Amino acid sequence: MKNEKLYNSFLDSIKDIKNGSSIMIGGFGGSGGQPTRLMLALRDLGPKNLTIISNVAGISTTTGYGWPENITPIDQGIFFEAGQVKKIICSFPVPGTTKPISEIEKSWKTGNCEVEIIPQGTLVEKIRCAGSGIPAFYTSTGVGTIVSQNKEHRIFNGRKYILEKALPADFSLIRANKSDTFGNLEYIGTSRAFNPAMATASKITIAEVNEIVELGEIDPEKIGTPGVYVNRIVKRKPGDPYP
Amino acid sequence: MKNEKLYNSFLDSIKDIKNGSSIMIGGFGGSGGQPTRLMLALRDLGPKNLTIISNVAGISTTTGYGWPENITPIDQGIFFEAGQVKKIICSFPVPGTTKPISEIEKSWKTGNCEVEIIPQGTLVEKIRCAGSGIPAFYTSTGVGTIVSQNKEHRIFNGRKYILEKALPADFSLIRANKSDTFGNLEYIGTSRAFNPAMATASKITIAEVNEIVELGEIDPEKIGTPGVYVNRIVKRKPGDPYP
Amino acid sequence: MSDLSFENDPAPRLSREDIARRAAKFLPNNSIVNLGIGIPSLCANYLPTDIDIYYQAETGLLGFKELYPKGKGDPNIMDASGNFPVNIPRLVFFDSIESFNMIRGGHIDITVLGGLQVSGNGDLSNWMIPSRGIGSIGGAMDLAENTPNVIIAMEHTTTKNIPKIVEKCTYPLTSKNCVNLIVTDVAIIEVKYNSDINAKLILRETAPHWKIEDIQKITNTEIFEK
Amino acid sequence: MSDLSFENDPAPRLSREDIARRAAKFLPNNSIVNLGIGIPSLCANYLPTDIDIYYQAETGLLGFKELYPKGKGDPNIMDASGNFPVNIPRLVFFDSIESFNMIRGGHIDITVLGGLQVSGNGDLSNWMIPSRGIGSIGGAMDLAENTPNVIIAMEHTTTKNIPKIVEKCTYPLTSKNCVNLIVTDVAIIEVKYNSDINAKLILRETAPHWKIEDIQKITNTEIFEK
């Protein structure tokens, strides 16, 4: 029987992404856990007016953040350079240094895109909530800062908290080391990061993996994302130079 | 240097549990993942007016639920039989059958204890929230039922939800297969259940384990509870007859 | 055939196994399914050989099939009914947080649950008999409220022939407007929603020799021809 | 000694490395510590040999020590500064949900963060310079707001000798009333809370030849003798 989750081409796996789609991009920032091939395919596909949701975003190309030295970094900047982004929601869109200026900062400065900055823990919890049927939660992170502006405040046990709402998306592009044919994913080290949360939070989740193995070939105690959350799986070519 | 997390005796590891303490008991219900030796020690220590928090509770002794056939089950009923419980918070306190009557139902019928029944998903999320700095969240589970009585209702995206609050405790008694000397825990199969959530949610977390190994001897990709959450570790005697 | 028989029945009611067999027909290949305790758990025995289901259990388990016979198996691989599934090489384990992310997040395709009462607008009561005063919710509320497709597998009446399909549930509710299909020992009834909260019961199948009038007689709310 | 020197200084200010060395003294053995980018990340280089710290990184990493030199290491084992720690056999990996359960839940003992401004009542600004108009929050707000012990390691003033310890922060806030200790190139100052929101700055140590009057001159809010 045909396994409908397996795709042979990165471009085929994302071709229903349309103008105006919202797209989560996994990993932490840096090359580990980043779905680099899916990102390049999305750039090549070329949909516009995208909302991009990711954590650290667009700083690797200017600072080398989280990339080995022997390879030119790829990051979310490619979508800004191509004029595909209406809005980015992230926790870390610019490095401490101001030179060279990143693609995101450039796009923001010229008014070509909106940048919404969310504390990292709040961002991942908003994403988790979208995947797990929780429409909103309270956190003290951001209380008394611009993050709390126009948000509902509430006191529990004498401490002040703000209401934060679930953040879903149309597509999640994620990255793992291995997938089995059902989409159970195994991650390595810190490459988990935002991938497991994002896998649960979109209508369609697409996983870029180094290897696809048979059911049962991943140690069940090491599965980081159960296959119920994964709609499409694409394997990288052997010897792909990107980490 | 002395490792202050390692205890030689189950009784020593819990001896600061006092009358009126609130205590989470891990596992799902059944023998897998249940901290049976810590429970027996708590019964022997004898504090009264306890609030017990667990999932499926007290049905193994009447139905054999989740126990192998060759051994007499132990469950939360031991605390009720000993008159130690003021209140139990759980999702599944009685089996479908009414005979024989369980210790929890007996205690409830005679007015000796309060039983608060919470949907399982809400219960585990309330516990998780207590450990992760989230004072409250919204869920649709229980809307329109007695679970929603006296709770705040709120509509998000056209659907009705109720506000549920974090549930912390004084002590968590949990169970894992292995611990390293820092308290990183490895679980097996479905013995995870409520253990990882409860490990985070109490002032003091005490882990009953089959084996204690050196740092680095648990595959870091298989650690289910990072050691930051574990305050005390007690190893079972080799050949313990309880699963 | 069922143990139950009532003098006005036009023909025997089906057995618990028959109910499970009929409910199992509604589980599509490769779907993610959570089976409740009782009749629902029997569905697993009646799947056509070309249908492969990924069963999920609240205990933190996905992908199991066969259960060990009573007295055998590993207590560290348990389903929510307290059975020990066979450890086949496709199982996934996770903790209760993840298990209910999956359930509450609507990632389970279908749940088959038992019922004490189902109302004409799809309300379900299945966790407490009021006379007992205490009951167990377990995962039932999360499953019923959040699973896109809820199938109730139960006898059509109590052992005293009191209807369990009613205009309004009198037992404590599990979830409102949640039921999509009711499979009983005499009928298969679809709950067709006109809006989120208004529904009509549509008769889709009957047991042999049962007509809609016969079924209506032991149903306390109106059922309609398809 | 620092690159900075100002004509009214009674003696040289300490270097970034010295600040890190002084901050590192406040990290007790076996504590769980998250180090921010910049000066804080240098603390790891100045621990006494008998002190063992479990560093946590937002990336989902606990227990690391040494970092690979630039150009080496495994991108799948990364800290939040984008460095690649050496894979020693005590590392724990987890995803971002768990990483921030740990942080937001208050399970990190101490965080050492950089600062742009700290106010007399312990408010911290460290994520955006207003003139730039865009900044990065990352994990700083979660860490500052929820960690029981927040140490700020920074220069006492800007390169233009403008005080960074102020009566009220004018830069966008990271968290209010969160700072417990300020370690600078001329002083170590404790933020002593009288209530949750009212605090006093208490001078605990000075750089060689610096007196409280000298430090007060480059501090825009009152500091007190211990």
C-alpha D55: how far from chain center? 14
Q: Is residue C9 part of a domain?
A: no
What pLDDT, in 10s, does the model give residues B24-71? 999 999 999 999 999 999 999 999 999 999 999 999 999 999 999 999
Minimal Cβ distance to B220: which of D91, D101, D103: D91
- Mean pLDDT computed over every residue of chain C: 95
Question: Is the confidence at residue B109, as pLDDT, over 60?
Answer: yes
Q: How high is the pLDDT of residue A58? A: 95
**B134–A157: do the CB atoms touch at under 8 Å?**
no
With cut-offs at 50, 70 and 90, classify the pLDDT of residue A3: confident
Domain ranges of chain A: 6-10+19-59+75-235
Work out the burial of residue B141: count CB atoms within 10 Å of its CB; fewer than 13 is exposed, 13-18 middle, 19 or more buried: buried
Could A137 and B136 be called an inter-chain contact, meaning their C-beta atoms sit closer than 8 Å? yes
* Mutant choice from C70, C102, C137 vs B, greatest count of B C-beta within 10 A: C137
pLDDT-based confidence at residue C3 (cuts at 50, 70, 90): low
Mean pLDDT of D149-168: 97
Segment C148-189, tens digit of pLDDT:
999 999 999 999 999 999 999 999 999 999 999 999 999 999
User: Closest chain A residue to C33 measured between Cα atoms?
Assistant: A228
B153 backbone φψ class: left, alpha, beta (φ>0; ψ -120 to 50): beta
Looking up residue C161, the CATH number of its domain turns out to be 3.40.1080.10
Residue C56 has pLDDT above 70, yes or no: yes
Alpha-helical segments (H) within chain C: 16-24, 39-42, 96-104, 140-146, 212-217
Q: Mutate which of C95, C102, C174 to disrupt the B interface (most B C-beta within 10 Å)?
A: C95
Count, in order, helices (H) and strands (E) of chain B: 7, 13
Residue D5 predicted with pLDDT over 90: no
**If you measure CA to CA, which chain C residue comes closest to A228?**
C107
| Structural domain contains residue C112 | yes
What's the pLDDT tens digit per position in B159-187?
A: 999 999 999 999 999 999 999 999 999 99
CB–CB contact B184 D92 (8 Å) = yes
Using an 8 Å CB-CB cutoff, list residues of chain B that contact chain D. 128, 131-134, 180, 182, 184, 200, 215-217, 220-221, 223, 226-229
Is the Cβ pair A182, C56 closer than 8 Å? no
| Alpha-carbon gap, residue A145 to A166, rounded angstroms | 20
CA distance B23 to B42: 10
Among chain A residues, CA nearest to D135: A94
Residue D2, pLDDT above cutoff 60: no
Residue C138 contacts B where some CB pair is shorter than 8 Å: yes
- As for how many domains chain D has, the answer is 1
- What single string gives the DSSP state of each residue in C158-218? -TT--BSEESS--SPPSBSS---EEE-SSEEEEEEESSSS-EEEEEEEE-TT--HHHHHHT
Residues of A in contact with C28 (CB under 8 A): none
Give the B:D interface size as CB pairs under 8 Å.
52
Return d(Cα A25, Cα D24) in angstroms, integer. Answer: 36
Contact yes or no for C67/C83 (Cβ under 8 A) = yes
Q: Do A30 and D75 touch (CB under 8 A)?
A: yes
Q: What pLDDT score does C81 carry? A: 93
Q: Which CATH homologous superfamily contains domain B6-10+19-59+75-235?
A: Glutaconate Coenzyme A-transferase (3.40.1080.10)
Following CA atoms B11, B17, B19, B25 in sequence, which dihedral angle do they give, to the nearest 10 degrees?
-90
Whether this prediction's pTM lies above 0.90 is answered by yes
For C180, C199, C220, the CA distances from C195, given in Å and listed in that order, are: 13, 7, 22
Q: What is the pLDDT of residue C71?
A: 80
Please list, in sequence order, all residues whose beta carbon lies within 8 angstroms of the beta carbon of residue B110, skipping any fewer than 6 positions away: none
Q: Which of B75, B175, B190 to mutate to test the interface with C (most CBs of C within 10 A)?
A: B190
Q: Which residues contact A106 (CB under 8 A, 6 or more apart)?
A: A80
Q: Is the pLDDT of residue A1 over 80?
A: no
**Measured between CA atoms, how close is A16 to chain D, in angstroms?**
28
pLDDT value at B224 more than 80: yes
pLDDT, position B233: 98
Touching check for C86 and chain B: CB below 8 Å?
no
The two counts, helices (H) then strands (E), for chain A are 7, 13
Test D93 with B223 for CB contact under 8 angstroms: yes
**Residues written for chain D:** 226
Contact A200 C101 (CB under 8 A): yes
Q: Could you report the per-residue pLDDT of C109-157, keeping only the tens digit for each?
A: 999 999 999 999 999 999 999 999 999 999 999 999 999 999 999 999 9
Q: Kindly determine whether residue C107 and residue A215, on different chains, have CB atoms separated by under 8 Å.
A: no
The beta-carbon neighbor of B138 closest among A135, A187, A222 is A135
- Write down the residue that tokens 């900044």 correspond to: D135
Yes or no: say if C176 and C196 are a contact pair by the CB < 8 Å rule: no
Indicate whether D115 belongs to any domain.
Answer: yes
CA-based nearest distance B66→chain D, Å: 29
- C-beta atoms of A156 and B137 within 8 A: no
Q: Does C78 touch chain B (CB under 8 A)?
A: yes
Q: Please report which confidence band the pLDDT of residue C5 belongs to, taking 50, 70 and 90 as the band edges.
A: confident
In the prediction, which pLDDT does D3 show?
56
Distance CA C114, CA C125 (A): 9
pLDDT at residue D70, rounded to an integer:
83
Query: Mind telling me how many Å the CA of B179 is from chain D's nearest CA?
Result: 12
Q: What mean pLDDT, rounded, does chain A reach?
A: 97
**Cβ pair D145:A68 closer than 8 A:** no
Q: In the predicted model, what is the mean pLDDT of residues A10-32?
A: 98
Spatial contact of B39 and B173, defined as CB atoms under 8 Å apart: yes
Say if D155 falls within a structural domain: yes
pLDDT in tens, D206-220: 999 999 999 999 999
**Chain C interface disruption, residue of A126, A228, A229, A230, most C CBs within 10 A:** A228
User: What pLDDT does residue B7 have?
Assistant: 98
State the Cα–Cα distance between residues B180 and B223, nearest whole angstrom.
Answer: 10
Q: Which chains touch C (3 or more CB pairs under 8 A)?
A: A, B
- What pLDDT, on the 0 to 100 scale, is given for residue D4? 60
Q: Is B97 or B195 the better-scoring residue by pLDDT?
A: B195
Chain D nearest-CA distance from B70, in A, is 38
Nearest to A182 among C90, C98, C108 (CB): C90
From residue A164, how far is each of A143, B138, B166, C160 by CA, in Å?
11, 11, 16, 51
* Closest chain A residue to the Cα of C50, Cα to Cα: A1
pLDDT at C4: 60
Find which of D52, D107, D146 to mutate to test the B interface (most B CBs within 10 Å of its CB): D107
CA–CA separation, A174 and D183 (whole Å): 40
State phi, psi for A2 to the nearest 5 degrees. Answer: -65, 135
Is there a domain that residue D8 lies in? no
C5 within some domain:
no
Residue B27 near residue B64, CB atoms below 8 Å: no
Cβ-count burial of B90 within 10 angstroms (0-12 exposed, 13-18 middle, 19+ buried)? buried
**Three-class SS state of D175:** strand
* CB-based contact C140 B119, cutoff 8 Å: yes
CB contact under 8 A, C142 and B122: yes
Residue C148, number of CB atoms within 10 A of its CB: 11
Question: Taking CB atoms and an 8 Å limit, are C54 and A128 in contact across chains?
Answer: no
What's the CA gap between B39 and B24, in Å, rounded? 11
pLDDT for position C2: 56
Q: What's the gap in Å between the CA of D123 and the closest CA on chain A?
A: 10
| % pLDDT > 70, chain D | 98
* List of chains touching B (3+ CB pairs within 8 A): A, C, D
- Of the pLDDT bands very low, low, confident and very high (cuts 50, 70, 90), residue A215 is very high
* D190 is an active site residue: no
In a domain, C99, yes or no: yes
Q: How far is A165 from chain B (nearest CA, A)?
A: 9
Q: What is the mean pLDDT of residues D133-161?
A: 97
Residue of C nearest to B121 (CA): C100
Of the candidates C58, C66, C98, C155, the residue annotated as catalytic is C58
Angle at B39 between CA B38 and CA B44, to 5 degrees: 95
Of the residues D7, D17, D58, D213, only one is catalytic, namely D58
**D120: Cα within 13 Å, side-chain hemisphere:** 12
Kindly determine whether residue B141 and residue C37, on different chains, have CB atoms separated by under 8 Å. Answer: no
Distances (CA, A) of D163 to A96, C43, D172, D218: 20, 73, 16, 5
- Check CB contact of D56 with chain B, cutoff 8 Å: yes
Residue C96 touches partner B, C-beta closer than 8 Å = yes
Burial of B188 (0-12, 13-18, 19+ CB in 10 A): buried
The confidence score (pLDDT) of residue B131 equals 98
Range of the domain at C124: 16-225
Nearest to B134 among A138, A220, A222 (CB): A138
Does D2 reside within a domain?
no
pLDDT band of B1, cuts 50, 70, 90: low
B215/chain C closest Cα distance in angstroms: 23
